[in-house]
Amino acid sequence: MFIAAADSTDPWFVRVDGYPGVGQSLAWDAPVIAEPGTPINCSLTVFIADGILGTEDITTLINTQGDNS
CA 58, 14, 20, 18: dihedral to nearest 10 degrees? 170
pLDDT at 62: 82
Q: Is 37 left (phi over 0), alpha (psi -120 to 50) or beta?
A: left
* Block mean pLDDT (10 aa), the chain, length 69: 80 88 87 89 84 90 68
The one-letter code for the residue type at 13 is F
Distances from the Cα of 21 to the Cα of 12, 37, 60, 64, angstroms: 11, 30, 26, 26
pLDDT at 37: 93
34 vs 63: CA distance, rounded Å: 31
pLDDT at 66: 52
Domain map (residue ranges) of the chain: 2-65
